[in-house]
Amino acid sequence: MNFFAAQDDARRRTKWLVVYFALAIIGVILSVYGIVYIAMLYTGMTVNPWMPGVFTATALGTGGVMGTGSLFKTMQLNGGGAVVAKDLGARQIDPHTNDADERRLVNVVEEMAIASGLPVPGIWLMDDELAINAFAAGTEPGNAVVAVTRGCLQRLSRSELQGVVAHEFSHILNGDMKLNMRLMGLLFGVLMISMIGRMLFQALRFMRVRSSSSKNNGAGVVVVIVLAGVALMIVGSIGVFFGRLIQAAISRQREYLADASAVQFTRDPEGIAGALKKIGGQQEGARINAPKATEASHLFFADGGMFSYGLATHPPLNIRIKAIQKNWDGEFVATTLPDVAEGRATSEHQRDARASGFSGSAAATPPPISRAQIDRLGEPSEVDAAVGHLLYESLQADWVSACHDREEAQALIFGLLLAEDNKLRDEEILFIKNGAGKDAGKLALQWNHQLGDLHSSEKVALVDLSIPTLRRLSLPEYDRFVEITQWLIASDGQVDLFEFMLQHVVERHLNSHFRPGSMAKMKYHNMDTLFNEANILVTTMAAVGGEDQMSSAYQAATAEWPWQLEMATAAECGLRSIELALEKFDHATPLVKKQLIRMLGLAVMHDGIVESREAELLRATADAIGCAIPPFTKRV
């Protein structure tokens, strides 16, 4: 299954999630009604088994509490993965950390992001959790986080840690992360009844009976509160059962896919299998002790050991390992703290990667692209962690360090947007100095000189590395940053297409952090409703190679179209039209997006070569509609 199909499957599972949630609400309402009925019998009231008025009041009250809880949690989760990480007691790792274990994690996550074509997610650590576990959370890649336990860092080798991180990146890429966040929001409502019952018990600690005259009444109130608390906790346990049922129904099959994808990403089944064996061999297993772990149990790399009523959210460890290693002997691996079999900075996987070399420079011959590779765009086989490592190694160390600095990261984006014309570039530098300070203008010019001839894959890698740093800007700083980038693009009156796409991508990944909103809904389910927008984007992409190649590129892209269309005119391909087309495709289903990406790929690759500029634009266009394309590189 490729990632577009996986994303579409996750989208369809969202519909079943709503059905399961409705069944959970019905089950809880019936249980509450049963308790109300018993309570009325106990007080001596004359009642019938079926009382429409009482049932309606019960349904409205119970449904209102659960619905309000779900709505509240969903709105809270719109803030992105950092909300979940904080709830679980994690802290964000400083990218400049000097801790060897944390530095190793930062390198692994950054390399995997580069290999996947994703912006680097926030990197968080659960310091107090000594078991081996991890999770990815967020409503979209722009506000995603990857968090691991302290046990992961102390017990796993680099290749095993890479396998765990690759598993979590699979959840980001194939749509599980967004589905899991929706699931958390809905489940909170299901758990509300049980939470209210616990709150009633906690309230008893603060109640006092002050006088003998009120003693009987006070005791009666206490009895009522105790009975109400017990009843609500019983009903709440039914809600928890349904919650675990939903988690298990949604999550278990997705874990097999994520394991398989991790093997494809790393080309190293020993890595993720080794991590699973160590989980099975340690006393703590994968247990997470954070109070809110139950709500997020379906997010974790392995079942966190929370009470599951026999409905585990993950397949058994032995079955997961057998799926990866058919000849596994059934032995788990016991570990002690710390226990890392390989060196912290270097592994065999890394040494193999360094030995293979990397043709990332602009002077290198662009890699030839086959028709089969075009058809595989979006498949996990195209993501290669070794390529991410090679790209990461090809970047100068001071560049990577600069991407972690707030001022440098902004200047890097400014530098990529500066004009080629010297006079105009001087005006742009002056505008940057006036808006962001003298140092910003100087740094932007330095970045412009250094990155001008850099290969597209390395430019995009630097942008991806800068995204988490730019998220640390204050809102006023971010607004100033956006204002400057927009001015740089429009300063010459002729907006360069790549500059436009780059600015669009950066804003896309940052807006979800600075101005979080509701999760995007799918509006377009087939290409027939978007063929005009597709024609605009395909025509634009065909023009990148020059007028002499435009016609052949367009024909290659549209040869299989069922519609008889002609190339859009220059007027029809204005920037506003392109922006509107991207916005519509951003709300299309994953499989519709795949059709577009394939056509754009055919336009770019019609001559079998992907030039650096073509690769930049193709990846930026795909990113603008929420599709990650790995870098176009080759080993030599």
pLDDT in tens, 31-45: 888 878 887 887 778
Q: Is residue 621 a part of any domain in this protein?
A: no
* pLDDT of 305 over the 90 cut: no
Q: Which of 445, 465, 496 is where one domain is finished?
A: 496
pLDDT in tens, 60-100: 988 888 888 888 988 899 889 999 999 999 999 999 899 99
- 257 vs 259: CA distance, rounded Å: 5
* pLDDT of 307 over the 50 cut: no
Same domain (yes/no): 270, 407: no
Q: Is residue 299 a part of any domain in this protein?
A: yes
- Give me the pLDDT at residue 197, please: 74
Same domain (yes/no): 132, 9: yes
pLDDT in tens, 587-630: 998 889 988 988 998 898 888 777 877 887 888 888 888 888 88
* pLDDT of 209 over the 70 cut: no
Annotated catalytic residues are 168
Same domain (yes/no): 283, 396: no
Same domain (yes/no): 245, 134: yes
450: tokens are: 């250094």
pLDDT in tens, 459-493: 889 999 999 999 999 999 999 999 999 898 887 66
Same domain (yes/no): 242, 114: yes
Q: Which of 496, 517, 550 is where one domain is finished?
A: 496
- 527 vs 128: CA distance, rounded Å: 49
Same domain (yes/no): 431, 302: no
Domain extent, residue 429, equals 379-496
- 505 vs 254: CA distance, rounded Å: 28
CA-only gyration radius of the chain, Å: 27
Q: What is the pTM of this model?
A: 0.84
pLDDT in tens, 50-63: 888 989 998 998 88
Q: Is residue 339 a part of any domain in this protein?
A: no
Average the pLDDT over 446-468 and give the result.
90
- Give me the pLDDT at residue 205, please: 62
284 and 350 Cβ atoms separated by less than 8 Å: no
pLDDT in tens, 326-373: 999 999 988 766 554 444 444 444 433 333 444 544 444 455 566 666
How many structural domains are present in the chain? Answer: 2
Same domain (yes/no): 304, 391: no
* List of residues 6+ apart from 560 with CB closer than 8 A: none
- List 147's β-bridge partners, or say none: 124, 135
Q: Is residue 531 a part of any domain in this protein?
A: no
Q: Is residue 525 a part of any domain in this protein?
A: no
Q: Which of 433, 465, 496 is where one domain is finished?
A: 496
- 399 vs 468: CA distance, rounded Å: 15
Q: Is residue 149 a part of any domain in this protein?
A: yes
Same domain (yes/no): 285, 425: no
Same domain (yes/no): 399, 260: no
Same domain (yes/no): 253, 395: no
Q: Is residue 280 a part of any domain in this protein?
A: yes
Q: Is residue 135 a part of any domain in this protein?
A: yes
- List 609's β-bridge partners, or say none: 368
Same domain (yes/no): 304, 206: yes
Same domain (yes/no): 271, 419: no
* pLDDT of 434 over the 80 cut: yes
